[in-house]
């Protein structure tokens, strides 16, 4: 490891130790469903607020050194260090080939370096969402690993959707109609709500046509913020369609 990267790693380690709070570790464990190997006790929102003012300090690092630093932070398997890796990736992603980042994160997930939804979501919503080529998301939707399936929809959950993005999101959600993992179902519903922000007719067309095929958790998340009478109508329609299929 380059000396500059080594020094930055030490500085980040010291920053984390200076802000660590053992009293908060148990709450973070609950938040992450115990899916983190090392936790120092800095809640994500507080950590991002504290560290954001230090981000400009990395601007003069060469791209290869930033990439190495991000690698070291992810490989630490410490929740707080991985959050900082996400922040650096979000700030400097443009310095790297999109394919390299995608393959790196996929490898981390498949090899249990990234093991919780919070880290995966940070990468999906803040880095993958900025990629010019998002075609890899369909492959993610078909993957055996739940975090990659979750990424396939969360990438599109908060961005401004184009028609192409909407098509991709709908196709990915359809791939998840047989989903069993709660985290993936909730994410698909959350992402589906974003369609309503940009194409109301497309949203209701999709919901009305496929509500009975969506897992109930997915559907309830997809319609969560609709008026109560509309929600009830969709849920009743969904049940009737499900019952009709069962009785055939």
- If asked whether residues 66 and 173 sit together in one domain, one would say no
Q: Structural domain of residue 167, as residue ranges?
A: 134-248
Percent of the chain with pLDDT over 70: 99
Which ranges of the chain would DSSP assign to H, the alpha helix?
3-19, 25-31, 44-52, 63-75, 79-92, 98-110, 117-126, 136-141, 146-154, 163-175, 182-198, 200-210, 216-222, 228-246
> Rounded CA gap, 198 and 40, in Å?
40
Other residues' Cβ atoms within 10 Å of the Cβ of residue 136: 19
pLDDT beyond 60 at 1: no
- If asked whether residues 74 and 28 sit together in one domain, one would say yes
Position 149 in a domain: yes
> Rounded CA gap, 130 and 248, in Å?
46
CATH code of the domain containing 6: 1.20.1660
The owner of tokens 């991709």 is: 168
The owner of tokens 């990915």 is: 172
- Domain edge (last residue) among 113, 142, 165: 113
- If asked whether residues 92 and 18 sit together in one domain, one would say yes
- If asked whether residues 237 and 184 sit together in one domain, one would say yes
Tell me the whole-structure pTM to 2 decimals: 0.94
Position 178 in a domain: yes
pLDDT beyond 80 at 6: yes
- If asked whether residues 164 and 108 sit together in one domain, one would say no
Contact 108, 124 (CB under 8 A): no
R_g of the chain, CA atoms, integer Å: 20
- Domain edge (last residue) among 82, 113, 144: 113
- Number of structural domains the chain divides into: 2
SS3 of residue 29 by DSSP? helix
Averaged pLDDT, 222-248: 91
Averaged pLDDT, 98-105: 97
Contact 187, 141 (CB under 8 A): no
pLDDT, tens digit, 9 for 90 and up, residues 161-181: 999 999 999 999 999 999 999
- If asked whether residues 182 and 91 sit together in one domain, one would say no
Label residues 216-241 b or e (16+ Cβ within 10 Å = b): ebbbbbbbeebeeeeeeebeeebeeb
pLDDT beyond 70 at 206: yes
Averaged pLDDT, 117-126: 98
Position 81 in a domain: yes
DSSP line for 199-220: -HHHHHHHHHHHTTTS-HHHHH
- If asked whether residues 106 and 72 sit together in one domain, one would say yes
pLDDT band at 247 (very low <50, low <70, confident <90, very high): confident
CATH code of the domain containing 168: 1.25.40
Position 129 in a domain: no
């Amino acid at each position: 490891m380059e000396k500059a990267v080594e020094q930055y790693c030490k500085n980040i380690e010291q920053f984390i130790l200076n802000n660590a709070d053992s009293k908060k570790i148990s709450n973070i464990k609950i938040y992450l469903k115990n899916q983190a190997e090392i936790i120092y006790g800095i809640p994500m929102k507080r950590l991002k607020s504290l560290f954001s003012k230090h981000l400009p300090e990395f601007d003069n690092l060469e791209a290869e050194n930033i990439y190495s630093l991000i690698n070291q932070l992810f490989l630490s398997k410490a929740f707080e260090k991985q959050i900082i890796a996400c922040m650096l990736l979000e700030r400097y992603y443009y310095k790297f080939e999109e394919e390299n980042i995608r393959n790196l994160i996929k490898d981390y997930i498949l090899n249990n370096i990234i093991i919780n939804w919070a880290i995966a979501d940070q990468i999906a919503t803040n880095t993958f969402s900025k990629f010019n080529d998002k075609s890899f998301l369909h492959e993610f939707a078909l993957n055996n690993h739940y975090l990659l399936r979750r990424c396939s929809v969360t990438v599109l959950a908060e961005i401004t959707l184009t028609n192409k993005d909407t098509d991709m999101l709908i196709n990915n959600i359809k791939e998840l109609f047989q989903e069993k993992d709660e985290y993936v179902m909730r994410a698909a519903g959350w992402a589906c709500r974003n369609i309503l922000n940009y194409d109301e007719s497309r949203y209701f067309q999709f919901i009305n046509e496929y509500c009975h095929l969506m897992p109930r958790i997915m559907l309830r998340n997809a319609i969560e913020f609709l008026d109560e009478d509309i929600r009830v109508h969709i849920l009743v329609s969904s049940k009737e369609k499900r019952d009709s299929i069962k009785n055939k």
